[in-house]
A and B are shown apart, each in its own frame.
Chain A
Amino acid sequence: MVPPEGVSDGLEGRVNDFVQWLFRDFQPSIPRGPKVINDSLLGNQFFARHEVAVIDSPLLQRLKRIKQTGLVFQVFPSARHSRFEHSLGVATLAERCFAAIADRASLEGLPTPEHAARDRGDLAELRMAALLHDVGHGLCSHLSEQIYQAHTDIKEFRNNPDYVRNSPGEILSYLIVRSPKFKEWFEWVTRECNASLDLDVVCEIILGRHPDHKKHYLAQIVSSPYDADKLDYIARDSYYCGLALTVDLPRFYSMISTTEFDGYRILVLRSYVPLEQILFSKMTLYGSVYHHHKVKCLDHMLRSLLTHISSHPSSCSFRIREKAITFKEAVEFLYVTEGDGLL
């Protein structure tokens, strides 16, 4: 079937359409300099000039309208933090893990990361992947992910051995960052900011892998059982829900290291205590917050609404900046945020 004019065929094409739609009225500009952003949890966070450009772009700004914990705020009223501050936090924590690994490696005479600058090389790519790892989230984060993962286009992608490990949200983040539209804009930003990083490596890190097996641990800092993503969301979600959960981060940093395994350099945690804290915190968060019976009830109400819209496209579809939304395709969940009046 030939797709209608202006609509691309295939998941990758539809993701590129979304990025074009998002950047349509955006006036790109280069920031004057780096920025310090203060965070309630992590304190001062430093961002290089090219990172500020990405933060200012519609791709990251859109995350301000997506709550980190979906409908949890209806039960825990202060849980209104967004994917935006989480993404900034993951970039900061990823750098702290990177620095801790480099410290330990130099002490033990192990191979150390080659570059430690925020605007070039390994650290720059790691921070950029951390910053962009959640751009594939749509309306109510994981709730919409649970719905669109049943869509054929995403299912086909996830049946490919290259992507079988990845969640639907990670796949969409990867496709957004790899889209020709984003790539074109990003190359212009890095050129203007005199930064040097390989966007293909950034894409791979988002999926939890690295083209250089000796740097596999860099990808694991962003996506693994004890990654910067978890360190941030455990602290952030528990803080904003009012739960007293702790992961002893200084201890975690002193115990994180790398080792050689079957040709890969992988991340290891040299003490089970921080891992136990992560597991216990996750169990508490799942039991008390994410799977709270009233949260589940609200999730199902919204799920019914979205399913109803997709089953009655002629009477229930709606438009956001001229884009007709019917929730028939996975990518349509990216066009909608909680700031669009649906909730």
Chain B
Amino acid sequence: MAAPMPVSDSAETMPDDILAAILTLAERESGQDRFRFKGHDYDLQRIFKELADKFPIVRKHFVFSSTGPLPYSPVLTESVSRLQLSGLIGRENPDFEFLFLKPSAAKYFDQEIRGRLGPANLAELQATAKEFYARVSS
């Protein structure tokens, strides 16, 4: 039988987990039932680059290119796409400018991610989410 392709350790946090955690914690920070924010790739890349410069946990999971005129992390674009595909976030019609969090995101965070984060990581993600919310709501 062929050996399975390499997969991550289940206890390890992946970029998708970190993104889902930041968005869920930002939703809680906002106090809104339905958290929506401008989700153009250009805006998200810029905001996450600023967050990566400040928070090591973001920097560890989202490597930004040091070349070219704009900050760019392919992993961030892929993570946004995968969270959409898996139904944790959605895009609003008619021009798909806004992203919003679906109820399944909070459920996923509480049941699957929170337990894998130590207190230090959780505190850092909470601080990151607060900064993220401040940036998308300004």
Contact = CB atoms under 8 A, between A and B. Distances in A.
B93 interface: no
Contact of B2 (A164, A213, A304): A304
A178 interface: no
A23 interface: no
Contact of A161 (B3, B5, B6, B66): B66
A261 B72 contact: no
Interface residues of A, number: 23
Interface string B52-75: 000000000001111111101111
Interface string B1-23: 01101100000000000000000
A213 B64 CA distance: 19
B64 A161 contact: yes
B63 A262 contact: no
A236 interface: no
- Minimum-distance CB pairs A-B, first 7: A161-B66, A311-B3, A264-B69, A165-B65, A308-B2, A307-B2, A209-B67
Interface size classification for chain B: 10 to 19
A262 B65 contact: no
Interface of B: 2-3, 5-6, 63-70, 72-75
A311 B68 contact: no
A147 to B, nearest CB: 8
B53 to A, nearest CB: 12
B2 A161 contact: no
Nearest to A263: B69
A324 interface: no
Given A161-B64, A164-B63, A164-B74, A261 B5 contact: no
A165 B2 contact: no
Contact of B69 (A150, A216, A307): A216
Interface in A306-333: 307-308, 310-311
Nearest to A310: B3
B64 A164 contact: yes
Contact of B68 (A159, A209, A307): A209
19 contacts: A147-B5, A159-B63, A161-B63, A162-B65, A162-B67, A164-B63, A164-B64, A164-B65, A164-B73, A165-B68, A165-B72, A213-B69, A216-B68, A216-B69, A262-B70, A264-B68, A304-B2, A307-B2, A307-B5
Contacts of A162: 65-67
A165 B69 contact: no
A329 B69 CA distance: 33
A307 B66 CA distance: 34
B6 A150 contact: yes
